[in-house]
A and B are shown apart, each in its own frame.
Chain A
Amino acid sequence: MKKKYMLLPAMMAAATLVLVGCSGTGDTENGDPATGGLSIDVPDVPMMDKLGKAEGEVNIVAWSGFVEPAWSEQFTEETGCAVNRRVAGTSDEMVTLMRTGDYDLVSASGDASLRLIAGGDVAPINIDLIPNFGDDTVKGMQGQIYDTINGKSYGVPIGRGANILQYNSEIVTEAPTSWDVVWEEDSPYAGEIIAYDAPIYIADAAVYLMTHEPDLGITNPYALDQKQLDAAIELLKTQNGIVSEYWADPVAQITSYAGGTSVVGTSWEILRKLTEDEKFKSVLPEEGSTGWADAWMISDEAKNPNCGYLWMDYTSSAKVNGAIAMGFGMAPANGAFCETSEEAAAHCEYFHATDEEYFENVWFWTTPLEQCIDGRTDITCTNFQQWTDAWLTVKS
């Protein structure tokens, strides 16, 4: 893994060699879960080879806070591309919207990006046309599996964050170091635990099992065979007996902690910050955790590809990328931002922007596929439909 990190920036710099380099990585590193280079059958969508004239507008599906007038107005001024934003609330909604063909760009999280790539909905990115995507991009966000397939890059990184363990230090007086407080039946906080409400949360159970049930042989929480999935669901069912509630809505999560209903459970750094109460603390437990990494992707039928590329380049600059990261509350993809000011440095420090050691323990959301992404070839893994179906049984 370390070797790979040394290799990739060099490859990125040698822009003409990028394609060759990455596909080489795919072959040699096959089976290394966190470093990309997966080979799967995806529709062959052509890549743009050179930038043409700006079309005058660009239509973007984005998370709230990613496309804001504070930086989109200047973009329009510089390029003449008017920015039309459509805010989506979930990854699934983003996938649905991108398939209408009405949008040029999407800020896809890892669990949406593989579906979009496999569905032939997004085109590979020509990195040559995005000068800002290069050396400054933090190492952990280059060539990741959730947006790099068959050696082709499909996404321009925006930012990342971990799903952390948040606790109310007035009640959870001893700082937890393990996720066991939210998974084990005899947890002292049974009945006051909050869990995430989506099928992708199965991966959190898998991360816990990786450490505590090594016999299951889980090496990547997104590559579970049927037996491993069953074990994860079993763990989630145990947890169902001790949760106070499930959250999908950020506001519901914050009020659950603030109102005392929940004292410990899964969270995002930004949500903990929003409670504006020092008694809420967070930790990345020793087992590691799941997380999310977002990237710009361009539609295969984009009507405004030139404005799309210009936007991806513009938002990858240290200044704009940092503004997005600060607005949303995440680690920026562009590491150069961290050196621009004291405030920026503090933000990077708080969100562990360049701390690869921190993110080494974070398994970024990835769409589970039948083909095991941990490199196993002798067995079929469970796909996202199976996860969705299994998730239902947790709360029944």
Chain B
Amino acid sequence: MTSTVPRVTPAEPGRVKTHGPGRVQPAGRNPLSTRLHRSPRLRLLGLLALPLTWLVGVYIFSLVMLLITAFWRTDPFTSKVIPGFTFDNFVRLVENPAYLSTSLRTLSIALLVTLLSVMFSIPLGIFMAKVASPWLRAFLAVAITLPLWAGYLVKILAMRITFTENGFFNSALEPLGLSGPGFSYTTVVLTLTYLWFPYMALPVYTAVRQIPANLFDASADLGARSWTTIRTVVVPLLKPAVIAGSIFTFSLSLGDYLAAKFVGGSTQMIGSVIASNINLNPPIAAAFSVVPIVFVLVYLFAVRKTGALERM
């Protein structure tokens, strides 16, 4: 989030300097820069104005508007939204067991996707950074990022074609006498893992590369075999990267609804419920959107407890 600040910095003085074409003034004589130089507060304001407008005006404001809508109600007759203040929507979330089971299912999907991503990323990262030849390393790096070049919907539809009854997955398994999961919970987990895997794999790979080679030497000198080295040296050092990646895989999975729609069969996620209510009953959709927000906050809080956020 802080990375937006330096991005703005060069732009501001640049705008000041190009006061008139071809007329370069000494910095001291430019009234604006003099004024900026004298007043640190103004400097700070100029620096932060743009990112803050974005953050507060667009991001936070729309979130607050969304949360306020959660306390409004819908006219059952006309489906019109009526401003007011009621907890009815939240009561309905608790009363109707469908909301709870959908929330828990979505949570389990998000956790499974994160777990699978970690399980694939660590061995891959270690192999790429420490074992693979430079050529193979470059090839794998491209292979991991390649899916990011394609559109999100295109990838989901590709998974749909792969897992369809007469699709690639089933025909590949046919000689073994097996058949794939079809469109189901499992397919949603696999699809989301496929979608978000690069967000986990890249930070993990970078983190493994940054582990100094002499740590491996020291570990070997002390008699540790490779598995012990991975367990006691590499994995603890990877923790911040895994947590950074998991924030992406977890929160992105939590909010997704297109995967459930196209490859989920009858799987219902939080996102699908919100999407189907957004026109019919916006207040209940807004109330339900509080659930993933709470999940992410609890997750971030738990992560903070481990101290990993400080080292990110």
Contact = CB atoms under 8 A, between A and B. Distances in A.
Answer yes or no: are A and B bound together in one complex: yes
Interface of A: 90, 92-93, 95-96, 99, 115, 118-120, 191-192, 197-199, 240, 243-246, 248-249, 252, 255-256, 259-261, 369-370, 383-386, 388-389, 391-393, 395-396
Contact of A261 (B76, B165, B261): B165
Given A252-B262, A389-B92, 20 more contacts: A92-B79, A95-B79, A99-B80, A119-B80, A198-B276, A240-B266, A243-B265, A249-B261, A249-B262, A252-B160, A259-B164, A259-B166, A261-B164, A384-B76, A385-B79, A385-B281, A388-B277, A392-B102, A393-B98, A396-B101
A385 B81 CA distance: 12
Nearest to A384: B79
A393 B101 CA distance: 9
B46 interface: no
Contact of A246 (B79, B266, B279): B266
A244 B182 contact: yes
Interface of B: 74-80, 92, 96-99, 101-102, 160-161, 164-167, 182-183, 261-262, 264-268, 273, 276-277, 279-281, 284
B164 A384 contact: no
A287 to B, nearest CB: 23
B78 A118 contact: yes
5 contacts: A119-B79, A197-B276, A240-B266, A252-B261, A395-B98
Contacts of A260: 164-166
Contacts of B261: 248-249, 252
Contacts of A255: 160-161, 164
Contacts of A384: 76, 79, 280
A386 B183 contact: no
A157 B166 CA distance: 41
Enumerate the 4 nearest inter-chain pairs by beta-carbon distance, A residue then B residue, closest first. A92-B279, A259-B164, A260-B165, A119-B78
Given A95-B279, A255-B164, A395 B266 contact: yes
A292 to B, nearest CB: 17
Nearest to A248: B261
Nearest to B102: A396
Contacts of A243: 265-266
Contacts of A370: 76-77
A212 B258 CA distance: 36
Contacts of B76: 370, 383-386
B279 A118 contact: no
Nearest to A396: B98
A115 B167 contact: no
A194 to B, nearest CB: 10
A393 B96 CA distance: 8
B82 to A, nearest CB: 12
A235 to B, nearest CB: 15
Nearest to A192: B165
Nearest to A263: B165
B246 to A, nearest CB: 27
Residue in B92, B101, B183 with the greatest tally of chain A CB atoms within 10 Å: B183
Contacts of B165: 192, 244, 259-261
A118 B17 CA distance: 61
A393 B164 CA distance: 26
B90 to A, nearest CB: 14
Given A259-B167, A384-B280, A389-B96, A396 B79 contact: no
A97 to B, nearest CB: 10
A90 B77 contact: no
A343 B80 CA distance: 44
A93 to B, nearest CB: 6
Contacts of B166: 259-260
B183 A261 contact: yes
A248 B272 CA distance: 12
Contacts of A386: 76
B266 to A, nearest CB: 5
Contacts of B80: 99, 119
Contacts of B98: 392-393, 395-396
Nearest to B78: A119
Residue in A118, A191, A260, A385 with the greatest tally of chain B CB atoms within 10 Å: A385
A385 B74 contact: yes
Residue in B76, B77, B182 with the greatest tally of chain A CB atoms within 10 Å: B77
Contacts of B279: 90, 92-93, 95-96
Contact of A369 (B77, B101, B102): B77
Contacts of A389: 92, 96, 284
Contacts of A96: 279
Contacts of A192: 165
B166 to A, nearest CB: 4
A351 to B, nearest CB: 29
B91 to A, nearest CB: 12
